[in-house]
Amino acid sequence: MNASTMTRAGLWVAAAATVVLVRAVWCQLHGAATGDGAVGLAESVSWGLKASAGWILAAALLVRFGGHLLEIGLPRWRRWAQRALLVAGVLAITLGSETRLLATGVPLAQWLYDRLPAHLTFAALLVVGYLLWRPRRAPETLETLEVLTGTGRTSVRIDDIECLEAGRNYVNVHTSQRSYLLRDTLASLEKSLRPDAFLRVHRSTIVNRKRIRERRSGGLLVLVSGRIVRVSRAFAERV
């Protein structure tokens, strides 16, 4: 285990301990404020552990796996659904954990009614905080693509690609010699391409800068193979 990993682990332990401590203190104060009498330290810490278990677990899972979920290329309107599902997942973990560990002698419907607002607020704040402050990984630059040939698979060098066009469920990978299919999305693939080598010219088209032979009026690009690609108005200034 290297020093960076140990530091992160230490921060996680400190954060988890702080959450438990804060909730234990809150338990002490709540007992005094409601006139139920002083709550013993052992009782308040035990309650704090049970009440915080779901929060800590949800945060750990979000940090560990949230990035993989958010890196899936989706249209903009689907990203909102993606984030809403993250909130729902955190809510299910935190509320489910607290219900199972602490709901004793209370009707389930009443318990959920009382606890749902607090857990929903926490879930939303946790996901928003994660989206704002999560570390962004630098995308890996691809050297080759494994593509479908119709009878099997083969590898194509990135530098040999003329352009990429989005299909219905695939990306069409065009070289000077032939075309292939790739089971991926254009948005996801673009993140792994060098921006100095490839250029988005249309919502559904990316071209290799070195393979552009000529630019014609009317927003047309002629590639080395003679293939003609249209540049949309949205990307005209960039081209």
Domain of 45?
3-133
Give me the mean pLDDT over the 55-64 stretch: 91
Question: What mean pLDDT is predicted for residues 154-163?
Answer: 94
Contacts of 75 (CB under 8 A, 6+ apart): none
Shared domain check, 124 and 149: no
Q: Do residue 18 and residue 121 come from a single domain?
A: yes
Quick one: pLDDT at residue 171? 94
- In the chain, what percentage of residues exceed pLDDT 70? 88
Task: Specify whether 122 is located in the same domain as 212.
Answer: no
When the pLDDT of each residue in the chain is averaged and rounded to a whole number, the result is: 85
- Note whether 13 and 129 are same-domain residues: yes
Domain end among 72, 104, 133: 133
Both 52 and 169 in one domain: the answer is no
Question: pLDDT tens digit string along 8-36?
Answer: 677 778 888 888 888 888 777 776 666 66
Give yes or no: residues 23 and 75 share one domain: yes
Number of domains in the chain: 2
Q: What percent of the chain is predicted at pLDDT more than 90?
A: 46
Is 111 a residue whose pLDDT tops 80?
Answer: yes
Look up the pTM and report it: 0.55
User: Does residue 139 form part of some domain?
Assistant: no
| Structure confidence at residue 172 (pLDDT) | 95
- Whether residue 107 sits in one domain with residue 69: yes
Kindly tell me if the per-residue pLDDT of 47 is higher than 60. Answer: yes
Do both 152 and 75 map to the same domain? no
Q: What is the CATH number of the domain that holds 204?
A: 2.40.50.1020
